[in-house]
Structure 1
């Protein structure tokens, strides 16, 4: 408890410039932790949605039925992320182009592939949300804290010029106040850097899985597009 009070005392006794630096670093840290928690929940939801959709997709369910099921979920207020968004974008364009007369199979596949690529880019943008801010906080916070420390030490030495006798007791408080800024800079930077590296790795892993799914789904659509529809079966006539 005494250490906590001493730290708060150092903050309260610091100069206005150093206090402004500490306040800025505290804001950086608070926003970073909010984004870290938010991204954690988001990536957990992405992994859960991907596992559920993969189970449905590879269960042998008809693609049209899977698409209609998703459309019904949309009407009930559901939203899709990850693989299901890519699937819906590709299958919707595939079905639309295939129903148009005069469109060959290659054009159908090009349209479906383009739609899946756009959907993947949108998913990448969603996953990269807040990561640039975390990278910025991780890179500049130590320098902002160092600026506060340098300013505080400079102010302490300027105050020594007016003293007849300088002792460690007169210098130590000012230097301690200044060093708090560096500590706060590191406190803001370290979690931000760790979260940025972790989430960047997750983005790369998910994008690789999305690309693999797009290739596999493209192969399935390619087989359907180049398969001639079966002629309707004629009802058999009974011999009288």
Structure 2
């Protein structure tokens, strides 16, 4: 069963969000939650656009599912709406292009497992963030940590995402923005943040077991096109 129109996964900044959905199957029913719980037939039945208010400093996780008359259901889609304070740029102004990296091998179940592991190699990575350099047929049980700074060209609202197989997490100024953790097939997860122009601390952790060994990272400024985070935005000191 396909997902409803208007339920595409994303994350954004807003104080008010209007959930406006349309069924994609005949006589399909749409159920939703705004507290992060997975919806089923006992959740709220969607009948008309719903206004969700987000107080300052809070967030709402909206989840939707479409169920056919026979009981078949779509995947559960997630929309994260945050109303955060502006994150100020850091005082440092690094000039070295790239990110510091640590490379690990081992059987990891979640990103946090990397904290207990010892790096096999460390160095400086230049280029768009990717696991491609470490993708081999012989070695799939790997972990990576990237640390440095990202340059934000304009103050505004930004959506970040990681596309990974298996787990990944993205932090900005030590706050978890994108949580794509765990063992899973290729999946894209989203997070949103309000950033001041300038440099911000930037960290990504990733692991893979046997599988696709894929990691890509994206940024989208509100009102502009989504794009891969470019090497020109990444620095270290």
TM-score scaled to structure 2, two decimals?
0.19
TM-score scaled to structure 1, two decimals?
0.19
Which structure has more RCO (C-alpha within 8 Å, separation ≥ 6)?
1
Instruction: Indicate the structure with greater strand content.
Output: 2
Q: Bigger radius of gyration, 1 or 2? A: 1
